[in-house]
């Protein structure tokens, strides 16, 4: 009798595996069959990039495609965002997949036949517009995922929410936008999202590879402004001044001790950068004020709080010691949380990534001091953000043009892996829940 149950159990569990395996095969077959379509979408989007909160054409293409697949579509979410809801044939959790849609004020170089010739005026300067971060590839890949999953909808045990998000690189000055606004407008509700997955193409990771990191993978950012006020005087009589230039120089130096003396560098990195320092108009006048702009980057909430406190203390106390005052604003105009990959979720989904890309092609990534507004979703629900190789095989990561530069280049042969990876993350998560 016991043996009978054992055999039955083996039969049932191998049946479940076979089912999952066959679904994976379906996904892979379908993804391969639409490879050319995905590349064509990407080329079209690449040729017609749009800046944050202006992704009108892009959103139109996305909405039309989702509608053609019979997916329920919402438009105008967080300005130009598009949300698609695909209800599977079986009950189960709601899994969100996200792609960002915006380009950058960068003038494209190089001679791709689909290079962008779009130009605009940005902050008073005439400049080109380019998909210099690869968000065109994210949109095309997620459109591909929608087509793959719609083709097997009857076998999907749950609901997939496709989030096409505007303005990841930041909204125009004075406007709200991006993931923060999408969350505010309720993108994670109705139906309520249980987990979220997203990817970023990477121009310095070889095609075929996926990289990931549990926990803090991209930094929290706070920009800052320090205004030092002293007493103006003739440059020939400094003793009658309170010199904000000297105080500012001391502040910049003292801020370096946060990373070197306050941060436990064995646990996580951190950055303090002063990127702008402005004060004074001529050689022999000690000015009244100096303004500094900077950025701080962290990987945990605790470090972030510590950095903010230390910058404030160092700036105000250094100014005080010189007889002046310092006013500190953090964040000044911009804050992104840590892009934090939920650790149990990352562990749970690692086998899915390895089964998709091959175990040798799934690699641990060091923390990145850049930032991502995917972090706003992860503040609300567990999420996993991975990186997809976009560098031609055999390329040198140190020489491959980096993101946000005019020569930024992506090898299109990696897109199908992206389509498979996101499709399988959604399906495997749902199947693991059963
Ligand atoms: Zn970017
Ligand atoms: Zn990006």
Q: Which of 375, 369, 370, 297 is nearest to 341 (CA)?
A: 375
Q: Give the start-to-end residue ranges of the domains of the chain.
A: 2-219+339-433, 220-335
- Closest ligand to Cα 405: 1
Q: How far is the CA of 385 from the centre of ligand 1 (A)?
A: 14
Residue 199 and residue 181: Cα distance in Å, rounded? 20
Q: How far is the CA of 248 from the centre of ligand 1 (A)?
A: 31
pTM metric for this prediction: 0.91
Q: How far is the CA of 101 from the centre of ligand 2 (A)?
A: 9
Is 167 within 8 Å of 177 (Cβ atoms)?
yes
**Phi and psi based region of residue 186 (left: phi greater than 0; alpha: psi -120 to 50; beta: remaining):** left
In the residue annotation, 189 being an active-site residue is answered as no
Residue 141 and residue 265: Cα distance in Å, rounded? 37
CATH class of the domain comprising 220-335: alpha beta
- Closest ligand to Cα 101: 2
User: What b/e sequence results for 268-303 when a residue is b if at least 16 CB atoms lie within 10 Å of its CB, and e otherwise?
Assistant: bbbbbebeebebbeeeeebbbbbbbbbbbbbbbeeb
- Residue 358: per-residue pLDDT: 97
Query: What DSSP character marks residue 154?
Result: G
Out of 108, 168, 412, 429, pick the active-site residue: 412
- Closest ligand to Cα 404: 1
Q: In the beta sheet, which residues pair with residue 216?
A: 340
Residue 382 and residue 60: Cα distance in Å, rounded? 29
Query: What DSSP character marks residue 299?
Result: S
Q: Where are the alpha helices (DSSP H) in 258-399?
A: 301-321, 343-357, 375-378
Residue 34 and residue 416: Cα distance in Å, rounded? 9
pLDDT tens digits along 112-156: 999 999 999 998 899 999 999 999 999 999 999 999 999 999 999
Residue 62 and residue 135: Cα distance in Å, rounded? 13
Looking at domain 2-219+339-433, its CATH superfamily turns out to be Zn peptidases (3.40.630.10)
Mean pLDDT per 10-residue interval, the chain, length 434 residues: 50 49 92 98 98 98 98 98 98 98 96 96 94 98 98 97 97 94 98 98 98 97 97 98 98 98 96 97 98 96 97 98 98 94 98 97 96 98 98 96 96 98 98 85
Residue 318 and residue 269: Cα distance in Å, rounded? 25
Out of 212, 336, 377, 429, pick the active-site residue: 336
- E strand residue ranges, 88-184: 90-100, 119-122, 125-128, 157-165
Q: What's the whole-number average pLDDT of the chain?
A: 95
Q: Which residue has the tokens 């994670």?
A: 188
Pairing of strands 119-122, 215-218: unpaired
Give residues with Cβ within 8 angstroms of 427, minimum separation 6. 20, 23, 24, 27, 149, 156
**Phi and psi based region of residue 433 (left: phi greater than 0; alpha: psi -120 to 50; beta: remaining):** alpha
Residue 205 and residue 203: Cα distance in Å, rounded? 6
- Closest ligand to Cα 138: 2
> Virtual CA dihedral for 420, 425, 429, 430, nearest 10 degrees?
-40
Q: How far is the CA of 134 from the centre of ligand 2 (A)?
A: 6
Q: Where are the alpha helices (DSSP H) in 103-167?
A: 135-151
Q: How far is the CA of 164 from the centre of ligand 1 (A)?
A: 16
Q: Which residue has the tokens 């890949």?
A: 141
Q: How far is the CA of 3 from the centre of ligand 2 (A)?
A: 55
Q: Where are the alpha helices (DSSP H) in 69-189?
A: 135-151, 178-184
Q: How far is the CA of 245 from the centre of ligand 1 (A)?
A: 34
- Residue 222: per-residue pLDDT: 96
Tokens of 414: 């990696």
- Residue 15: per-residue pLDDT: 46
Is 46 within 8 Å of 116 (Cβ atoms)?
yes
pLDDT tens digits along 56-85: 999 999 999 999 999 999 999 999 999 999
Q: How far is the CA of 129 from the centre of ligand 1 (A)?
A: 13
Query: What DSSP character marks residue 258?
Result: I
Q: How far is CA 287 from the centre of its chain?
A: 41
- Residue 21: per-residue pLDDT: 77
Q: How far is the CA of 404 from the centre of ligand 1 (A)?
A: 6
pLDDT tens digits along 164-184: 999 999 999 899 999 999 999
Is residue 338 classed as helix, strand or coil in its secondary structure?
coil
Q: In the beta sheet, which residues pair with residue 387?
A: 200, 211
In the residue annotation, 412 being an active-site residue is answered as yes
- Closest ligand to Cα 201: 2
Residue 45 and residue 47: Cα distance in Å, rounded? 5
């Amino acid at each position: 009798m016991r043996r009978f149950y054992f055999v039955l159990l083996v039969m049932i569990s191998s049946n479940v595996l076979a089912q999952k395996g066959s679904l994976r095969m379906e996904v892979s077959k379908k993804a391969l069959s639409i490879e050319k379509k995905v590349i064509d979408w990407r080329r079209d989007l690449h040729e017609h990039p749009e800046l944050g909160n202006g992704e009108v054409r892009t959103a139109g293409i996305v909405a039309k495609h989702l509608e053609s697949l019979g997916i329920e579509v919402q438009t105008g979410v967080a300005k130009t965002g598009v949300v698609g809801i695909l209800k599977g044939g079986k009950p189960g959790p709601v899994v969100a997949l996200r792609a960002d849609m915006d380009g950058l004020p960068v003038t494209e170089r190089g001679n791709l036949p689909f290079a962008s010739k779009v130009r605009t005026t940005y902050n008073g300067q005439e400049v080109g517009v380019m998909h210099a971060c690869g968000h065109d590839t994210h949109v095309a890949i997620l459109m591909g995922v929608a087509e793959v999953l719609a083709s097997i909808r009857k076998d999907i045990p749950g609901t997939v929410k496709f989030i096409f998000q505007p303005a990841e690189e930041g909204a125009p000055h004075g406007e709200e936008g991006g993931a923060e606004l999408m969350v505010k407008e309720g993108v994670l509700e109705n139906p309520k999202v249980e987990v979220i997955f997203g990817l970023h193409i990477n121009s310095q990771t070889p095609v075929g590879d996926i990289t990931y990191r549990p926990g803090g993978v991209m930094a929290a950012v706070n920009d800052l402004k320090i205004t030092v006020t002293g007493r103006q005087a003739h440059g020939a009589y400094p003793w009658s001044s309170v010199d904000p230039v000297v105080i500012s120089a001391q502040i910049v130096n003292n801020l370096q001790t946060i990373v070197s003396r306050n941060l436990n560098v064995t646990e996580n990195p951190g950055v303090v950068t002063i990127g702008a320092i402005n004060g004074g108009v001529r050689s022999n006048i000690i000015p009244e004020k100096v303004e500094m702009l900077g950025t701080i980057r962290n990987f945990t909430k605790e470090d972030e709080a510590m950095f903010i406190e230390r910058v404030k203390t160092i700036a105000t106390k250094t100014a005080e010691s010189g007889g002046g005052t310092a006013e500190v604003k953090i964040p000044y105009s911009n804050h992104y949380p840590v892009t934090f990959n939920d650790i149990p979720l990352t562990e749970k989904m690692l086998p899915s990534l390895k089964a998709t890309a091959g175990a040798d092609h799934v690699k641990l990534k060091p923390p990145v001091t850049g930032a991502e507004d995917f972090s706003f979703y992860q503040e609300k629900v567990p999420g996993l953000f991975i990186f997809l190789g976009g560098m031609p095989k055999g390329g040198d990561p140190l020489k491959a043009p980096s993101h946000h530069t005019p020569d930024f280049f992506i090898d299109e042969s990696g897109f199908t892996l992206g389509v498979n990876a996101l499709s399988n993350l959604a399906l495997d998560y749902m199947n693991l829940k059963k």
